Every structure is written in structure tokens, then in C-alpha cells.
């Protein structure tokens, strides 16, 4: 991973920034003032700003209304929250109603199997707000050892689910969506643009193994410094790394991009 200073921000001419939320924007579970100001500064400079997260859509709703962002893509790309002048936000989905209902029932059955077969496994505390995936806590409020995390992933995959591991949760879902699919979808939906055609002018920043699909695809992919705890597990690491961890690292990236625009 290269130092942030080597990212040629003056030549980048950035269109926008996608960012993970937990342990990328947030520190100890909350967004810090420097990260919040960084979001506002990016928007003020005319950049598109979209957090994209494995968190549930219900958990994300207050943030799309209060943070200076264009939208939040939640549940690893399956659902997005858009600003709405009347209701504060509105939801759009990648799957139709019937597909979501069918998959939801299947996911609950897989979740019960995990609880039966993996000692210590617990659904995430935010699972009630999830509509298109399920999540098990491994580091937020409980601790699962690596072998238990691997067992949860194996069960999900054996049931035909996609499974990823974030800095706090093990997420599983039915469908082909991912953070990358969600990014393409929201860029097309909000701005009528083709992300892949101009991906060298977008930046992605994250902190964990579940960001690898984005790290691999984005030429300007950035990890906040706390990603080093997952470094040995990364097949596709980010190209660049910030000096600082979490929200402070995000603020450093934002300032670096803004320095190149000025």
C-alpha cells in the first residue's frame, strides 16, 4: 500500500467519493467532527459523496437526513436511501417486492441454523432493521474467534448465500448485489452516469476485508490506517493508505483531494 501523499490528486479531477461507514467514517461507533466536516467540504467542492455500508437500511435512515451526503447505499448494495424534501428520505431497492420477501424467509432459516451450529454466534443488535441480509456480530458487542467466523461464513455459503466479513459483522444475503453493484446502481440512478466508464475519477475508502471488491475495482482505492489489522487477510488491498485511523484518516483523504482541486 502506497502512502496517501503519492495519490496524484491534482491529476485526478475527482467526480466523487464512496466511503464505508463503520471504522472508516466513524470512530468508536460515532462520526467525529473532523470526518463530518470533511463530508461537508467535499460536497461544497462539488463532489458526489455516498457512504456505502453493510449496515441495515433502518440504521442508516437518520444519517442520510443529517449528514452532508447525496445518498446512503445500505445492506451491501441492496437498498439505497435518497434525500426526500417531504419525508426526509425514501428507499429504493435492487430487488422487487416478491424476491425480497422470498429471500427474507430463506435468510431467517439460515440464521437459525447458524445459531444452532456455531457456539457463541449472535445476531447483530441492528438485525431488526435489516430487510435484505442477515448479520452476526463478531466484534461490535460480542467476540467470535476466527474459527467461529469461518464457520458462519461456510454455513452461509453452503446455503447459496454471499457472505462477507466487515470490521464488526458477518453479513450474508441472497442475490448478486455487492458494494460495487450498489455503487454502479446509485451513480446511474442519481446522476445518469456510467461508473465503470469514469471509475478513474472516483475514490473509494474503506477499512476491512468486505471492501475488497471495491479496492480491486477502483484505481484510487484508499484504506484508513486501521486496515492494517486485516492486512494479512487481504487478497486485494487498497492502493493507498492514510496516516491516521478511522474518521481522522477519512478527513486526511478529503483534505488531500481538496488540496488537488484548489
Indicate the CATH number for domain 97-173: 3.90.1070.10
Give the tens place of pLDDT for each residue, 121-133: 999 999 988 999 9
- Rounded CA gap, 156 and 41, in Å? 40
Please tell me the predicted confidence (pLDDT) of residue 255. Answer: 97
For residue 83, the surrounding DSSP H or E stretch is: strand 79-84
User: Do the domains 97-173 and 2-94+177-261 match in fold?
Assistant: no
- Rounded CA gap, 195 and 207, in Å? 22
Give the tens place of pLDDT for each residue, 220-243: 999 999 999 999 999 999 999 999
Torsion angle of alpha carbons 106, 235, 238, 156, nearest 10°? 10
CATH 1.10.565.10 fits 2-94+177-261, yes or no: no
Give the tens place of pLDDT for each residue, 55-111: 999 889 899 999 999 999 999 999 999 987 777 789 999 999 999 999 999 999 999
Please tell me the predicted confidence (pLDDT) of residue 3. Answer: 96
**Domain ranges within the chain, ordered by starting residue:** 2-94+177-261, 97-173
pTM: 0.91
Amino acid at each position: 500500500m502506497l502512502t496517501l501523499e503519492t495519490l496524484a490528486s491534482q491529476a485526478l479531477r475527482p467526480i466523487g467519493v464512496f466511503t464505508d461507514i463503520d471504522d472508516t467514517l466513524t470512530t468508536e461507533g460515532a462520526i467525529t467532527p473532523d470526518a463530518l466536516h470533511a463530508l461537508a467540504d467535499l460536497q461544497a467542492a462539488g463532489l458526489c459523496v455516498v457512504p456505502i455500508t453493510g449496515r441495515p437500511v433502518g440504521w442508516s435512515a437518520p444519517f442520510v437526513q443529517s449528514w452532508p451526503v447525496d445518498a446512503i447505499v445500505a445492506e451491501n448494495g441492496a437498498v439505497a436511501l435518497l434525500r426526500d424534501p417531504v419525508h426526509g428520505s425514501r428507499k429504493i431497492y435492487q430487488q422487487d417486492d416478491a424476491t425480497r420477501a422470498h429471500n427474507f424467509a430463506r435468510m431467517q432459516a439460515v440464521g437459525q441454523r447458524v445459531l444452532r451450529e456455531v457456539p457463541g454466534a449472535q445476531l447483530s443488535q441492528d438485525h431488526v432493521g435489516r430487510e435484505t441480509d442477515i448479520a452476526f456480530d463478531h466484534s461490535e458487542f460480542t467476540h467470535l474467534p476466527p474459527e467461529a467466523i469461518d464457520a458462519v461464513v461456510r454455513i452461509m455459503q453452503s446455503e447459496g448465500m454471499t457472505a462477507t466479513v466487515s470490521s464488526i459483522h458477518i453479513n450474508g444475503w441472497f442475490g448478486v448485489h455487492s458494494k460495487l453493484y450498489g455503487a454502479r446502481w446509485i451513480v446511474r440512478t442519481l446522476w445518469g452516469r456510467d461508473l465503470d466508464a469514469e471509475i478513474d475519477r472516483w475514490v473509494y475508502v474503506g477499512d476491512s476485508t468486505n471492501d475488497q471488491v471495491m479496492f480491486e475495482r477502483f484505481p484510487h482505492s484508499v484504506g484508513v490506517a486501521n486496515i492494517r489489522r486485516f492486512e494479512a487477510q487481504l487478497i486485494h488491498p487498497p492502493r493507498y493508505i492514510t496516516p491516521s485511523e478511522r474518521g481522522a484518516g477519512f478527513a486526511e483523504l478529503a483534505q488531500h483531494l481538496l488540496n488537488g482541486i484548489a
